[in-house]
A and B are shown apart, each in its own frame.
Chain A
Amino acid sequence: MTIKTSNEPFLTRLKESEQDTFMQKAVAKAQDAQWDKRTAARNELGHWEQWRDLGEQIRQHVIRYLPDYLEEFADNIEKHGGHVFFAKTDKEASDFIKHLAEEKQVHHVVKSKSMVTTEIDLDKELLKIPGLSLLETDLAEFILQEDDWDEPTHIVFPTLHKNRDQIRTIFQKLGYTGDNDPQHLARFARTYLRASFLKADMGITGCNFGVADSGLINLVTNEGNADLVMAIPKTQVVVMGMERLVPSLKEAEVLDNMLARSAVGQKLTSYCSFSTRQVSGESDGPEDFYVVIVDNGRSNALGTPFEPVLQCIRCGACLNVCPVYRHIGGHGYGSIYPGPIGAVLSPVLRGYEQFGDLPFASSLCGACTETCPVRIPLHELLIKHRQVMMNKLHTDKSFNNVIMKGIGVATSTPAMFRMALTADHVAMAPLTKHAPITVENEYPEGIIRKAPSMAKGWTDVRDLPEMPKHSENFRSWFKQHHKEQEAKQDD
């Protein structure tokens, strides 16, 4: 899978999401539960807004001095005998790892959850090697793999769209005979995976944070699978986005703390490891250690108004508060990065032709911006994307573009607006339908059930109030009211 998860047009994906009522209920339930857990975990820490300031400062600082930190980090990896590969594109990254696997004659690869390996389509590339087996060991990713590589629909909870019965059916293909109890299902997966860990000769992980001044890889999980992936196989490959650095352990501590609270409402994840190549005298850890640092479009954001998107620590909190994600789910976005962060990031990585619909899939309610632990102004960046498309690239060639420019003129020209106010409801009269009115105090003049042109989108879903006559609108009333007030004062 690459960044794009679907070749279907946006509207088709929306229709499919709307019909997937199971997914919608699952997302709504998860959002509601996470809302309380996240708030509690943040309140427990206290001074959350100041923590956000600190998180933002750390991330902004790293992005500003990114070349320096990348150099420091790479030097330290190499100092411990590890190797660093800078990949400009997804293909460069996956090719490098594929060649490495061939060169080392790898037979069994185990992976722990990593969005960036999904982004570079690594699984598919590695599986091209004859005789190579590959296993995702994060429980959710394992389920997706066994379900014929189904697409993840959330960056933290990849199988949010599946229920326990579906998972049971998937596991039955692997020989599971038990019921749909999540605990039994998890135990089965654990036993199944354990055998694979022990025979693996290459481990592939992502990276939550790379620590620049020590070359340590910081990984947080709740399953401990990443630690086994790092500890057992002889060869380890760490794949990371080029922005995922922190200066030192001090900053990693701050961000891990905020990440766990924001992502899953925990104080800290069950496992939080800092590791590197095997140090002499140790019995576990990789002997061959590779770090692949991936650009793949990230540098498009540098030096642009979109730079703050690189501050992201992939906590997924913005997905968990988003009312649009709540209804259309990950599938609706058609990107492995869905939700508000995905709607900002996907067009940065891959452009507007593929992802130009996403920045419009937001009501700009600001819930994402409010919850973001590192203060990415997400809803403002969505407007920025719209601005690039409308003002610079002129991507909208439809009549709506003409209407929008017309609205711009009308709302900046008092005489034109006055005309609109005095045009009276005469122009709208043919649209008025004598449909039943069940809502009180909203439609003194009646309703419009079917409007033409751009307003059609409104009346496809809801009724529109008919406008009051000129003599009865607010401006006319105020003028009259003022006259009466003045007359009173003159008396």
Chain B
Amino acid sequence: MKVVIFSTCIVDLFFPNVGKAMVEVLERFGCDTEMPVKQICCGQPTFNSGYVKETQPVFRNQIDALLSIDADYIVGPAGSCVNMLREFQVQLKDDPEYAEKAKQVAAKTWEFSQFLYRVLGVLDAGAELDATATYHRSCHMTRLLGERTSPFVLLDHVKDLKMVPLPHIENCCGFGGLFSVKEPEISKQMVDEKVDDVISTGASVLISADPACLMNIAGRFNRRGEKIKIMHIAEVLNHNVDPSRVKYVPEAERDELYAGGYNQGFTQSDVKKEVGA
């Protein structure tokens, strides 16, 4: 199956290792990956700051780029950015040229961990990581994209990895896109509490499916001189892989994963309402 990689600007600019790990994992599970060069960004930096008009060309460029290669799926390494791609259909619903294209994009776009679990049916990616780790559940991936399960299932199957729960897992880390830049006084207090909570777990590794949240939490950890190892979930699932350990979800349970266990985020129901899907 052919998969278009939605690289996200943050991975393009800062985190090549996250992109590499994602591509390697996807190829291990039989995906042909392609990366349209004209893609840039989901548009959240400007859109969420109120520059909605200025973001329209960003949406259109991204759609043109991602649809420029005929693929079965579009997969990205960041829950928040992936959610924004899926919301293009709401933002462009009155655009005669792009409304339909935006729907096409939404229909085949998945966040990396949910694609692995819900589409490819992977239960155990064959990875090993001898560590105690905790997981930061990003707000947009959880609440807007509605994905609360896939990362946990996949991480639970990593050999030798001990997962410990993060207190106040429901609270934002204080990233919030340009919120972190525009309101540093508030953001600092939020990220400090997150750092304290991560430290309180005793975990040596912090994992997430959103590189931007990780960049924020890691940045505060480093500024405070505290120790932690940061890993994107793709890096964990690409660590010391033994293909003989790979396990799949039983065929009979796959349909439910694909349709039933997902799309519970409230934005998704609004999307359905607005576009009549």
Q: Which of A412, A437, A444, A474 contacts B40 (CB under 8 A)?
A: A412
Are A363 and B47 in contact, with the CB atoms below 8 A? no
B72 beta carbon closer than 8 Å to chain A: no
Question: Could you tell me how many residues of chain A have their Cβ less than 8 Å away from some Cβ of chain B?
Answer: 81
The interface stretch among A138-146, A254-262, A278-286, A385-393 is A385-393
Of A215-223, A242-250, A454-462, the one touching chain B = A454-462
Q: Any chain B CB within 8 A of the CB of A191?
A: no
| B 57-87 to A, binary, CB cutoff 8 A, 1 in contact else 0 | 1101100010000000000000000000000
Encode contact with B along A355-381: 1 for CB under 8 Å, 0 otherwise: 000001111111101100001010000
| Interface residues as binary, A399-411 with B (CB distance below 8 Å gives 1, 0 otherwise) | 0100011011111
The complex places the Cα of A481 from the Cα of B188 at a distance, in Å, of 39
Contact A386 B46 (CB under 8 A): no
A463 contacts B by Cβ under 8 Å: yes
The smallest beta-carbon distance between B137 and chain A, in angstroms, is 11
With A414-B65, A439-B230, A478-B35 already in contact, the answer to whether A404 and B46 are too (CB < 8 A) is yes
Distance in angstroms from A466 CB to nearest chain B CB is 9
The A/B interface has a contact count, at CB < 8 Å, of 243
Q: Which B residues, 1 to 46, have Cβ-Cβ distances below 8 Å to chain A? A: 5, 7, 9, 11-20, 23, 35, 37-41, 43, 45-46
- Interface digits, A6-27 against B, CB 8 Å rule (1 contact, 0 not)? 0000010011001000001000
Q: How far is the CB of B171 from chain A (nearest CB, A)?
A: 5
B48 close to chain A: CB less than 8 A: yes
Please report the C-alpha to C-alpha distance between residue A33 and residue B214 in the assembled complex, in whole angstroms: 28
The listed residue (A454, A463, A477) touching B219 by CB distance below 8 A is A463
Q: Is B16 touching A408 in the complex (CB atoms < 8 A)? A: no
Kindly supply a per-residue 1/0 record for chain B positions 185-196, scoring 1 wherever the CB is within 8 Å of any chain A CB and 0 otherwise: 111111101000
Task: Identify whether the interface residues of B are mostly helix, strand, loop, or mixed.
Answer: helix
Q: Chain A interface: which of B101-109, B113-121, B173-181, B251-259? A: B173-181
Q: Which of B92-100, B139-147, B157-165 contacts A (4 or more CB under 8 A)?
A: B139-147
Q: Nearest Cβ in chain B — how far from A84, in angstroms?
A: 36
| Residues of chain B contacted by A304 (CB below 8 angstroms) | none
Contact of A407 among B45, B190, B225 (CB under 8 A): B45
B133 CB-CB contact with A under 8 Å: no
Contact B7 A323 (CB under 8 A): no
Is B183 located at the chain interface by the 8 A CB criterion? yes
Among the 9-residue stretches A118-126, A291-299, A324-332, the one with 4 or more Cβ atoms under 8 Å from chain B is A324-332
Contacts known (A321-B170, A404-B49, A441-B229); A461 close to B266, Cβ less than 8 A = no
A413 contacts chain B at the CB level, 8 A cutoff: yes
Contact B184 A417 (CB under 8 A): no
Interface of A is mostly: helix
Q: A323-B171, A462-B219, A467-B14 are in contact. Are A478 and B190 (CB under 8 A)?
A: no
Hey, which chain A residues are within 8 Å of B139, CB to CB? 363-367
A14 touches B143 (CB 8 A): no
Tell me how far the C-beta of B55 lies from the nearest C-beta in chain A, rounded to whole angstroms: 6
A188 within 8 A of B: no
Q: Report yes or no: A439 in contact with B222, Cβ–Cβ below 8 A.
A: yes
Residue in B closest to A417 when the chains form the complex, CB atoms: B40
Q: How far is the CA of A414 from the CA of B19 in the complex (A)?
A: 19
**A183 at the A/B interface (Cβ < 8 Å)?**
no
Contact in complex: A390, B49 (CB < 8 Å): yes
Q: Are A439 and B45 in contact (CB under 8 A)?
A: no
Q: Does B156 contact A (CB under 8 A)?
A: no
Q: CB-CB < 8 A to B54: which residues of A?
A: 404-405, 408-409
Asked whether, in the complex, the Cβ of B9 is within 8 Å of the Cβ of A411, the reply is yes
The one of B7, B57, B174 in contact with A408, judged by C-beta atoms closer than 8 angstroms, is B57
The residues of A that contact B221 with a CB separation of less than 8 Å are: 438-439
Q: What CA separation (Å) do A250 and B248 show in the bound complex?
A: 50
> If A366-B143, A404-B51, A462-B216 touch, does A439 touch B227 (CB 8 Å cutoff)?
yes
Instruction: Indicate if A468 sits at the interface (CB-CB under 8 A).
Output: yes
Partner of A414, one of B37, B46, B55, B191: B37
Determine how close the nearest CB of chain B comes to the CB of A334; give it in whole angstroms: 14
Determine whether the beta carbon of B50 is less than 8 Å from that of A458.
Answer: no
Q: Quick one: given A363-B179, A457-B180, A473-B16, are A408 and B140 in contact (CB under 8 Å)?
A: no
A321 to B170 CA separation, bound complex (whole angstroms): 9
In contact, A474 and B19 (Cβ under 8 angstroms): yes
Q: Is A178 an interface residue (CB 8 A)?
A: no
Docked CA distance A420–B40 (Å): 11
Best-surrounded residue of B13, B143, B222, B231 (most CB of chain A within 10 A): B222
CB neighbours (8 Å) of A481 from chain B are 20, 23
> In the complex, which of the residues B40, B46, B175, B228 contacts A440, with contact meaning CB atoms closer than 8 Å?
B228
B275 within 8 A of A: no
On whether A478 and B186 interact (CB within 8 A), knowing A411-B58, A457-B180, the answer reads no
Q: Is the CB of B191 within 8 A of A462?
A: yes
What is the CB-to-nearest-CB distance from B229 to chain A, in angstroms, rounded to a whole number?
4
| CB-defined contacts of A386 to chain B, threshold 8 Å | 48-50
Are A441 and B23 in contact, with the CB atoms below 8 A? no
Interface residues of A (CB under 8 A from B): 11, 14-15, 18, 24, 28, 32, 35, 321, 323-324, 326-328, 360-367, 369-370, 375, 377, 383, 385-391, 400, 404-405, 407-414, 417-418, 420-421, 436-444, 447, 449, 454-458, 460-465, 467-468, 472-475, 477-478, 481-482
3 pairs of A and B residues whose beta carbons are closest in the complex: A363-B176, A386-B50, A462-B219
Q: List 19 A-B contacts (CB under 8 A).
A: A14-B186, A18-B189, A28-B193, A362-B176, A363-B139, A366-B267, A389-B50, A391-B51, A408-B46, A411-B45, A413-B61, A414-B39, A439-B222, A439-B230, A458-B219, A461-B188, A463-B223, A468-B16, A478-B5
